[in-house]
Amino acid sequence: EEPEPTEEPQGDITTEFTSPEFGTAFDFESDLYEGQSGRVTVNSLKPDVEDMIAEYDPSYFKPAEGNIYFLLNVTVENTGGESFSPWLELDPLLIGAEGQEATWAITTIPDDLSDMGELAPGETMTGNMLLEGNKSFLNTKSQLHINLLYGVPVIMLLD
């Protein structure tokens, strides 16, 4: 059962604020592109995955000093009538209790969502996105923000 979102105004944007479990699906519709809509499921968020990435590609780009990588796994389903590229339409951001941010990072990772191309109507794909942030995230409560097709962002509270 999906949690009931509450809407809290934030400037001129409305934010969908939820505290769901991983595996909860969120429906979205583009505010900019007619016919683009879908469903995203945040399957997992794994911290400190540098060893796994190094095993996959020993020549990977290392995170900045004091930072770690987080691997975000999502499933995206296209429920609309137009194709779109999920990696361009999902904009993840991890925000720590002290305001620190982990943002999208680029290096070679397994099942990279950006390597999977366009998602046609009716299709589903599962892939990974990489975030980079300070090690201090490991000791604080965080929020995972995912902006969906320039629409209402989903916010998950993480312990």
How crowded is residue 54: how many other Cβ atoms within 10 Å of its Cβ? Answer: 12
C-alpha closest to that of 153 among 95, 81, 82: 95
Per-residue pLDDT of the chain (159 residues; tens, 9 = 90+): 444 444 433 333 333 444 567 888 888 777 667 778 888 888 988 888 999 999 999 988 999 999 999 999 999 999 999 898 888 778 788 887 778 888 888 888 899 998 988 999 999 999 999 999 888 777 777 777 776 655 556 666 666
Residue 114 to residue 125: CA distance in whole angstroms: 11
Residue 113 to residue 120: CA distance in whole angstroms: 14
This prediction's pTM:
0.79
Retrieve residue 157's tokens. Answer: 């509270």
Dihedral angle over CA of 152, 136, 99, 22, nearest 10: 20
| pLDDT tens-digit series, residues 20-30 | 678 888 887 77
Q: What is the pLDDT of residue 51?
A: 92
Backbone φ, ψ for residue 109 (5° rounding) = -135, 155
What is the DSSP-derived secondary structure letter of residue 54?
Answer: H
DSSP H/E element including 6: strand 6-10
